[in-house]
Amino acid sequence: MIAIDDTLNSDDLHKVCFVCNLEKCKGACCVEGDAGAPLEEQEISELEDNLDYIRPFMLPQGIEIVEELGVFDYDAHGHYVTPLVNGAECAFVVFTGEGIASCAIEQAWQAGKSKFRKPVSCHLYPVRISRYNDFDAVNYHQWHICKPALELGKQLEVPLYRFLKDSLIRKYGSDWYDKLCKTIEQKGK
């Protein structure tokens, strides 16, 4: 484990190589699973504040679910998550012409319409964060649908912490990320 500030970080961050390969997985993490994407409490209000800008990028069935349930639901443990369509795909999922799942929230952000990029849990995936009283546990979540990402990451020799640089900085800041890199580099010596 790597301790940085108020986080305990799995050694998998530097041991596992990973690069999303959407051509092969088709964005399965947006359409499979037993719950929507984890949401932080303040992300709910960000979604609500930006929903009018996100809605034009959404599919009709996603809009219907969000109008019925709102921008969040609860998982089996009572945590905030995005709502699901038909108990499967995220209400905010959209598909490219190649059948690749994408995110309406992020599309609105990329188009300059919304100030909210997407849930940080999605941006960080395949890393999941567990919160405890005094620290966050930052761990790699292994899921069979990401096998193509492991293969591509190994081929390109990109460790998880490098692949997730932008999202880790978004979550914890550049000083934290610099400390992580320095600690990992020192471990490698």
| Cross-strand bridge partners of residue 81 | 38, 73
The encoded tokens of residue 16 equal: 């596992």
Query: If 0-12 CB within 10 Å is exposed, 13-18 middle and 19+ buried, where does residue 110 land?
Result: middle
What pLDDT, in 10s, does the model give residues 153-162?
Answer: 999 999 999 9
What pLDDT, in 10s, does the model give residues 47-90?
Answer: 999 999 999 999 999 999 999 999 999 998 899 999 999 888 99
Domain boundaries, the chain: 1-18+126-189, 24-117
What pLDDT, in 10s, does the model give residues 121-169?
Answer: 989 999 998 888 899 999 999 989 899 999 999 999 999 999 999 999 9
pLDDT at 119 over 60: yes
Predicted TM-score (pTM) of the model is 0.86
- For residues 91, 96, 100, 105, the Cα torsion angle rounded to the nearest 10 degrees is -40
pLDDT band of 45, cuts 50, 70, 90: very high
